Amino acid sequence: MSVPKERKPKRGKTRHPAAATWQLQAAKAQFSEVIRRAITDGPQVITKQGKEEVIILPIEQYKKLTERSKQPQSLVRFFAESPLVEAGLDLERKPDYGRTVDL
């Protein structure tokens, strides 16, 4: 009985040069390996019919990419906490009543 050789994912043409590329069928057959490599080696690109379709990446990287930066609760609070508050800018508007037009 022969022992199957371990398949290594391709490093092909990808916009993610550090990521290994897997064809969909190979990724399905070796899903645990894809997950293990995503955790240890970084993002794993899955292709379907030669086209990049999906990236599998560790949860820490996903959270880092999707976490929101500190945002104020409202626009009023945003302007109240702005560094320009003490800059002395005059933000008052004079009322505009339109203009007179000769007909």
- What is the per-residue pLDDT for 8? 55
> Residue 95: which residues within 8 A CB-CB, separation 6 or more?
none
Contact present, 26 and 9 (Cβ < 8 Å): yes
- What is the per-residue pLDDT for 57? 93
- Thinking of the domain 11-82, which architecture would CATH place it in? 3-Layer(aba) Sandwich (3.40)
- What is the per-residue pLDDT for 95? 87
- What is the per-residue pLDDT for 76? 82
- Ranges of residues in the chain with a pLDDT under 70 are 1-18, 69-72
Q: Which residues pair with 52 in a beta bridge?
A: 47
- What is the per-residue pLDDT for 89? 76
The structure's pTM equals: 0.53
- What is the per-residue pLDDT for 74? 83
Q: How far, in Å, CA of 77 to CA of 72, rounded?
A: 6
